Chain A
Amino acid sequence: MGMFQNLLRRHAAALRALLVLTAVCGVLYPLAVTAVAQLPGLKAKADGSYVSADGRRAGSALIGQSFTDAQGRPLKQYFQSRPSAAGDGYDPASSGASNLGPENVVDTKDGPSLLSQVCARSKAVGELEGVDGRRPYCTPGGAGAVLAVFGPRDTAGTVVHPTRVISVNEPCPAAPFRSEYRGARVECAAGGQDYRDGVIVPVRGDAPARPAVPSDAVTASGSGLDPDISPAYARLQAPRIARERGLPAAQVERLIRANTTGRAAGFMGDPVVNVLKLNIALDKAAPFRG
């Protein structure tokens, strides 16, 4: 009986301790911080760093947005954000990353591989901005250049004399990005087939090692809400913006610089351009008449 009473007493103390600490850490602490956050200078930030355009709230300076039409096509008068894996793109209700791995190179029925996504984005950005969108390991059609190679393997696992080769990310009736591989004809991928038993061989191709389209333009961020792009990606888009809005190139350059944040204290992070603030500044400087 004494043991049971001890047990009871201990758990009663534990419960009381937890409730007391809940009052301190779970109620008083967040309320105190919120109270301090009401100070001028802090309040706007604590509320979410909202920014206005044309006298109405247009979003938060910290949360990225899609600058696309209802069909998801880029609005040419705006600087474009990075690709986003948050919901259908920049959905704050489902923040997050693609979580696709570095060797995610074979498209499946669930969707394109990370490699094919990168290739397709690079091609699209290249076409939009009028530059070379080619990348290593990408087909000219904007898919991952990956072969599944079947046949006897040597001790290193290489198929020296393939019996069958399939370009896995190019569904039939597409013409594969190369016609032969080690003497075997390369076939297009038939729908619903599983090629995982073959040796998966990504093909580098002859694209430049430093592509014209910067890396942040072809990758999704960690949050899916990245408000920024690299200065390189902003500069790539500048000629299109100048053309669409009838602005001198130098003025667009100035606006980019005005919305660029350098490394904090000179060494923290990377220099970035805030896309929403830049686009609001653009609208103010030269309203778009489309």
Chain B
Amino acid sequence: MGATTAGVVFIGSLLLALAAVHVPLGDHMYRVYSSTRHRRVERALYRTMGVDPDAEQGWGAYARSVLAFSLVSVLLLYGLQRLQSHLLLSLGMKNVPDHVAWNTAVSFVTNTNWQSYSGESTMGHLVQMAGLAVQNFVSAAVGMAVAMAFVRGLARKRTGDLGNFWVDLTRGVLRILLPIAVVAAVVLVAGGAVQNFAGPHTVGTLAGHPQTLTGGPVASQEAIKELGTNGGGFYNANSAHPFENPTAWTNWIEIFLLVVIASALPRTFGRMAGQKRQGYAIVAVMGVLAVLSICATTAAQVAHHGTVPQAVGSAAEGTEARFGIVDSAMFATATTLTSTGAVDSFHDSYTSLGGGMAMLNMMLGEVAPGGVGSGLYGMLILAIITVFVAGLMVGRTPEYLGKKIGAREMKLASLYFLVTPGLVLTGTAIAMAFPGPRASMLNGGPHGFSEVLYAFTSASNNNGSAFAGLTVNTPFYDVALGLAMLLGRFLPIVLVLALAGSLARQTPVPVSAGTLPTHRLQFVGMVAGVTLVLVALTFFPALALGPLAEGIR
């Protein structure tokens, strides 16, 4: 089999596998979030937490619970890092500096997992597993919980109740993330990912040099890092590191894991809304955007335009020999279309247009299929905006699932959409305006600008991947990107929950001749089109200064 055929089969087999688990996993998640029965272990947890699992929450209480949980998470994670040297299993690592600890705490709580530090030389085993890996679970479960509250808002009528955050959080962790993560972690160990509590170990190499290897609870962290669309690597090299991602087939598994929940959630949505076809329409939009992006990125990488790739003869810089170009490009696409940000190859060295596609994927708002939970609510917001745009064009009443999209709903949806572009463009502009942040660029010319634009795009969209040449462990970037992550996560969450609250209160209007059907192919095309147009209008000028200026001759 030639390299191209193998690449096509690799991509095709991933899409097929995702399609195969779409219904069973989506249905499982539907049962998890709809069931009224609590397991015994869950009841014990609720008692320890001191919450009543059968109490329903309105949007305000739900949002306040999300914020309280996240605030406490940031504080605890910050404290763990600042006190690291006094804790168990620190491996002699020093306390993490304040700005790095702030950035990392926010980064992991917001499901971004941007890393301004180098894992193997900064974080001991305890911070990695009891701090960072815990947030890998719970930040993912928070995203899913918010998505479920939003879907309940769409599905329920004449009520203020959106569910119970503590129940959604606990069930997401115990019934969805943990079981899959355990299996995935063992599979990764079988592939060669390390899982131990050993300290640094020095060997004499064949050529007689000392080489110090660091192990750790890597496989357990790797599994949830992909599954929860987190992306924070145990090691600096992330999923390119052979201890995290040892073989070509673990690479396949990791890509599968980082897409699987987000791509199954539309099924859950369809079930909860009582109309499976609405879920199919949403997953179809995600699929269309994803396939377009996979084709464009892979084509750019295989064509390897640009001076250095032409001199090399391929886009091999920053890629691992065992993965090859196409599989690496597929990982890059999957990680930026979701909010994962793990990398198995380094995007900074990608071709100009290949790297530009990674940026564009995030600029889409990470909705194809997006982060766990955040992808679904992001896409549903785009569907609501589309309904409104379509209503304007043909004079139909904007409704979605029988809910009227009135002035209040549209204001919330528009604000939601505006948050990330506002953060990305303002942040990039501020960084470019000052000599200090500019001096952090590794590459010159348009590529240096791309590094800064990528950083703010990644942080604001809670992705976490980077054009890693940029030196970001400076106070400016740690603080600025920390703010971008924080606002980019929680402003949209509050807006989504507010929108859910106002939708849940409505009495659904019956379907009439004036209703735009939102399950047909036409609607799928419209949502994809509206998404592309909105994103192009917002980000084209910025992209023109970076990857387009560099890549188009």
Contact = CB atoms under 8 A, between A and B. Distances in A.
Interface of A: 9-18, 20-22, 24-27, 29-30, 32-34, 36-37, 41-42, 45-50, 53, 56-60, 62-63, 65-69, 75, 78, 82, 86, 90-106, 108, 114-115, 118-119, 135-138, 144, 196, 202, 204, 209-211, 214-216, 218-230, 261, 263-270, 272, 276, 279-280, 283
Contacts, number: 395
Contacts of B65: 10, 13-14
A107 B541 CA distance: 29
B307 A105 contact: yes
B212 interface: yes
Interface residues of B, number: 126
A103 B550 contact: yes
A279 B207 CA distance: 10
Nearest to B3: A270
A14 B137 CA distance: 15
B190 A29 contact: no
15 contacts: A18-B138, A42-B186, A46-B193, A95-B120, A95-B237, A96-B118, A97-B346, A97-B468, A100-B349, A104-B443, A114-B317, A115-B307, A115-B308, A118-B311, A215-B316
A30 B318 contact: no
> What 10 A-B pairs come out closest when comparing CB atoms?
A269-B248, A222-B240, A99-B469, A102-B306, A270-B324, A95-B237, A26-B130, A97-B346, A223-B237, A62-B242
B401 to A, nearest CB: 31
Contacts of A37: 186, 189, 195-196, 219
A226 B467 contact: no
Contacts of A276: 206
Contact of A30 (B214, B217, B320, B344): B217
Given A46-B194, A97-B468, A16 B313 contact: no
B345 A222 contact: yes
Interface of B: 1, 3, 5-6, 9-10, 13, 45, 48-51, 64-65, 68-69, 71-73, 76, 118, 120-121, 129-131, 133-134, 136-138, 166, 169-170, 173-174, 178, 181-182, 185-186, 189-198, 200-201, 203-207, 209, 211-215, 217, 219-221, 223-224, 235-237, 240-243, 246-249, 251-252, 305-324, 327-328, 343-346, 348-352, 355, 442-447, 450, 467-469, 550
A241 B198 CA distance: 36
A123 to B, nearest CB: 12
A62 B209 contact: no
Contacts of B345: 97, 222
Contact of A48 (B73, B120, B181, B194): B194
Nearest to A202: B307
Contact of B320 (A118, A119, A222): A222
B346 A222 contact: yes
Contact of B206 (A42, A78, A226): A78
Given A37-B186, A37-B219, A62-B243, A106 B444 contact: yes
B382 to A, nearest CB: 31
A75 B235 CA distance: 29
A223 B317 CA distance: 11
A218 to B, nearest CB: 6
Given A95-B241, A229-B321, 7 more contacts: A13-B166, A37-B196, A93-B121, A95-B120, A96-B237, A269-B324, A272-B322
B323 A137 contact: no
A62 to B, nearest CB: 4
Given A93-B120, A270-B322, A103 B447 contact: yes
B205 A65 contact: yes
Contacts of A24: 173-174, 178
A62 B22 CA distance: 34
Contacts of A41: 190
A230 to B, nearest CB: 6
B444 A196 contact: yes
A287 B192 CA distance: 29
A261 B242 CA distance: 15
Contacts of A13: 49-51, 65, 68, 166
A272 B321 contact: yes
Contacts of A267: 1, 5-6, 9-10, 13
Contact of B121 (A26, A94, A119, A216): A94
A67 B45 CA distance: 54
A7 to B, nearest CB: 8
